[in-house]
Amino acid sequence: MYTDTLPGDDELGDSPYEVMWHLLAAADGYALGRLKLMCARKLWDDVSIDTVAATLACAEMYSCLELKNKCIDFFAMEKKFRKAVLTDGFVQLVQQFPSIISELRERPGT
């Protein structure tokens, strides 16, 4: 049953990031805008150099523009960009969404 709340951290198990991705997918599929926004915010709060590429791929896949823009802005910070492009997640991101490269190039700082 949908309760318009996110599960507590203690309910997310060993893979809280993956749970949020799945919830974002469900929110997108069922057009639950508020849940989608809550998931995006939670994913953004936990973003790091190691997770930003996968988070960006998730945002792109589920049409979450706010999260996508925040991830691209994260990449735009030169020091973070240089580290983030060396992750496996970045390689998978550009293989799955090659158009992201041009979007990253358009942002100042990358």
pLDDT at 11: 72
Task: Map out the domains of the chain with their CATH numbers.
Answer: 13-106 (3.30.710.10)
pLDDT reported for residue 9:
73
Q: Which two tokens stand for residue 33?
A: 């805008």
> Contacts from 5-13 at CB under 8 Å and sequence distance 24+?
5/38, 6/35, 6/38, 6/39, 6/42
pLDDT tens-place string over residues 4-30: 777 777 776 777 788 888 999 999 999
Single-letter residue type at 93: L
pLDDT in tens, 32-43: 999 999 999 999
Q: List Cβ<8 Å contacts ≥24 apart for 27-31.
A: 27/62, 28/62, 28/63, 28/64
Separation of alpha carbons 19 and 36, rounded Å: 13
The pLDDT tens digits for 59-79 are 999 999 999 999 999 988 867
Spacing of C-alpha 52 from chain mean position: 6
